[in-house]
Amino acid sequence: MQSIDHFDLRSFDLNLLIAFDALVEEGSVTRAATRLKVRQPAMSHSLSTLRMLLDDALLVRVGADMRPTPRALELAPRIRAALRAVQEAVRSGMRFDPRSEERTFRLGFCSEMEVLVMPALAARLRADAPRIRVIGRHCDAEDVHRFLDDGVVDCAVGGYGGGERHGALTLFEPALACCFNPLLLPLTIPVDEAAYLSTPHAVTTLRDELQGCIADALRRAGATLDTVVASSDFLSVLAVAEAAPILATLPAQLARRHAPRFGLVVSPIPLSLATTPITLLWSRRVDRDPAAIWLRNEITAALKPAATTPAKASPARSSFVRPAHTSPPSTTLDDGFADGLIAGRRSGQRDGLNGPDRVCEGQHGRAAP
């Protein structure tokens, strides 16, 4: 591509090209001025300047009209094409059609949020935006703001805090659940506190700690789990609960969706734990970018079905499990989650999350005050 001599163009007012196009098309200084909503003397001045810069009369009077010179006729289509190109370049950034756009978005996730967002998002994109592709990657709280600033990810979903340079929308406040294999553990549903604290446990963790990602919340609640397995992969935790008489604790929406595939039943946890909100985070640079706005809306919509699904404890599956009470099913499982998406709440309303302890809280929760 041939470079542009910016120094040469610096002395040429590009607005004169717009005036030239109007003058040639209208064939009249008065009509050209009316078209561009300027006064006639201003248009006459533009014509005089153009004549001087291009060293040509450009328009000459023939009777009541003004006719373009050969030089003006030669320049007219090229200037019109240049103006159209500029117009299209300016307008193209203001439009985004997901049905025809071919583009790849990069999304950052905190821990298990990727498995919650990506399936529903992929289904929506295949139906409504078949040429859009997405790449997901893990983002720690320590890295997410830098990744957004550097364009490594377009937006991120997790237990993150916002900032002046970043927009944040609270998506939901997750709950916790426990699950187990009813053929191996003779527990009732809902699991009571004594059984919950004494039964061997499996949890998810991102650090070298058996209490896992709810360690800080448990400490503040004055509780300790008998944790025998801690894994960075929630599927491994579910597989452990399937194979051994072990109770697994993980986010309720994950338990509700995936535990039945392992033959596990789900129960609310009997401890009062407050959860860290899950937020959608993006750079302020793309606050008004149509493509970025569309992507944020799609992510929000992808999470909405999970947020509005009624929370129910799984039914008993074997003779080892005593039947639940006949009272209406407990909704403790998704307390604060089934209320749906919390639109419009900005991250500035809550403390920012920093450090490895807060990363873990962002996944699972903190103790209620």
Average pLDDT, the chain: 78
Do 278 and 216 fall within a single domain? Answer: yes
* DSSP characters over 110-163: -TTHHHHHHHHHHHHHHHH-TTEEEEEEE--HHHHHHHHHHTS-SEEEES---B
Rounded CA gap, 58 and 56, in Å?
Answer: 5
Report helix angle 40-54 to 15-26, nearest 10: 100
pLDDT band (50, 70, 90) for residue 366: very low
Q: What is the pLDDT of residue 135?
A: 95
The whole-angstrom separation of Cα 351 and Cα 361 is 12
What is the C-alpha separation between 240 and 230, in angstroms, rounded? 10
pLDDT over 60 at 162, yes or no: yes
Q: Does one domain contain both 54 and 115? A: no
- DSSP secondary structure of 262-311: GT-EEEE-SS-EE-PPEEEEEEGGGTT-HHHHHHHHHHHHHHHHHHHSPP
Name residue 336's amino acid.
G
pLDDT tens-digit map of 322-355: 333 333 333 233 333 223 332 333 333 333 333 3
pLDDT of residue 259: 94
How many distinct structural domains can be found in the chain? Answer: 2
Say what the pLDDT of residue 247 is. Answer: 94
- pLDDT, residue 93, reads 58
The residue assigned the tokens 């117009």 is 87
Of 92, 118, 144, the position where a domain reaches its end is 92
Residue 160 sits in the same domain as residue 31:
no
Are 128 and 23 part of one and the same domain?
no
Q: Are residues 347 and 141 in contact, defined by beta-carbon separation less than 8 angstroms? A: no
Q: What's the whole-model pTM score?
A: 0.60
Domain boundary among 50, 66, 92: 92
Please say which residue of 65, 92, 119 terminates a domain.
Answer: 92
Q: Tell me how far apart the alpha carbons of residues 296 and 166 are, in angstroms, rounded to a whole number.
A: 13
Least confident span in 42-56, 139-153, 228-242, 351-365: 351-365
Q: Are residues 16 and 135 in the same domain?
A: no
Structure-model confidence comparison of residues 282 and 309, the more confident one: 282
pLDDT at 210: 54
CATH number of the domain within which 20 lies: 1.10.10.10
Taking the C-alpha atoms of residue 238 and residue 112, their distance in angstroms, rounded to an integer, is: 13
Say yes or no: 60 and 115 in one domain. no
Instruction: Say whether both 166 and 233 belong to one domain.
Output: yes
- Is 360 found in the same domain as 241? yes
* pLDDT score of 277: 85
Query: Are 135 and 212 found together in one domain?
Result: yes
Say yes or no: 252 and 307 in one domain. yes
**Residues 88 and 122 reside in one and the same domain:** no
Please tell me whether residues 298 and 188 are part of one structural domain. Answer: yes
Q: What is the pLDDT of residues 209-267, one digit of tens each?
A: 554 556 556 666 667 778 888 888 889 999 999 999 999 988 888 899 899 999 999 99
Q: Which domain holds residue 52?
A: 6-92
